[in-house]
Amino acid sequence: MTYLLQALQARAGEFVSLRRDIHRHPELAFEEHRTAALVADKLEGWGYRVHRGVGGTGVIGTLVRGRGTRRLGVRADME
């Protein structure tokens, strides 16, 4: 099993709790203030540089490791 898979499995309970919390507090599209704050706080806690309020309630998390030029982008919706 890869290191990444092991790390994700070790935190599975945290991810499930986070999903359940978000679903307990639904928000309308473009009004996801609580959800955006929660996502931004989690990303910061995991070591990401975070930009809040993008397009209203959007969040951008940037994780920098090393000095290489390779990049990976991931997009997700909060609605």
Would the pLDDT of 74 be above 70?
Answer: yes
β-partners of residue 49 are: 62
Would the pLDDT of 79 be above 80?
Answer: no
Would the pLDDT of 18 be above 90?
Answer: yes
What residue segments make up the domains of the chain, in order of their start?
3-62
Distance CA(31)–CA(35), nearest Å, equals 9
